[in-house]
Amino acid sequence: MANHWLDKLKADKLEGRKRFSVLLDPDKAPKDIKLAHWIEEINASECSDILIGGSFLSRGNASTLISDVKKHTDLPVVIFPGSPDQISDQADALLFLSLVSGRNADLLIGRHVEAAPRLMAMDIETVATAYLLVGDGPLTSAAYISQTLPIPSSKPELAVATVQAAVLLGMKAVYIDAGSGAGNPIPEKLIKAVRKAVDVPLIVGGGITDFEGMELAWNAGADLVVLGTVLEKSLNFNSLSPS
């Protein structure tokens, strides 16, 4: 099973090429003509990838959305799974997320055991990814559904120790997330600390609302920035370009 998506992300990291991805939630993404228009806007932007998933409540919608999106784009489509129900071999890659910032065994390994037999039978690139929730409130959907506390934004040393442990366990990428609808993005100080501590690709999402926010995350060390909630209300790519 070739690691084309991860290899490209690593190559871009080494060359200093920064990337951003749009996250489409199966429960919130538009359908039919409106979806096609969204994908046209995404294709015309500097977006490098499309992530699909992320809703812990979604049931059975992800595969249909992946299929519909693939009809309108050549961009890599990567699954950001909120549950084993969101697995599909129609995507180009899947982030095999382990919620290492929490101590909920179901999200550390339990759901992975459920998903593993299906994934092993599929021809899909699977990227072992350490997933960290970071923030100080208000409570995000991810924190509530996962029944875990995020790492405090003011404690970069906790984030560093967590990602170091994850990399030593064999994780191939790190995803730091403020959570869906977060009031504030991940602090630059924390991103810088994690970037200095480990050398795997670093993905950052949550609370970023414009190009300036993306640039701050990139400059702090993020290799891939993910935008979701800001585009659910209005797909305004004008805010994602230098003014």
Signed CA dihedral, 210, 41, 50, 102: sign only: positive
Nearest to 86 by CA among 113, 71, 65: 65
User: Which of 116-120, 136-140, 161-165, 214-218 is least confident?
Assistant: 136-140
159-206 tens-digit pLDDT:
999 999 999 999 999 999 998 767 799 999 999 999 999 999 999 999
How many other CB atoms are found less than 10 A from the CB of residue 62?
29
Q: Which CATH architecture has domain 4-236?
A: Alpha-Beta Barrel (3.20)
| Size of the chain, expressed as the number of residues it contains | 243
Question: Which H or E element spans position 119?
Answer: helix 111-120
pTM of the model: 0.93
Question: Which H or E element spans position 213?
Answer: helix 211-220
Give pLDDT, residue 170.
98
pLDDT beyond 70 at 139: yes
25-45 tens-digit pLDDT:
988 888 899 999 999 999 999
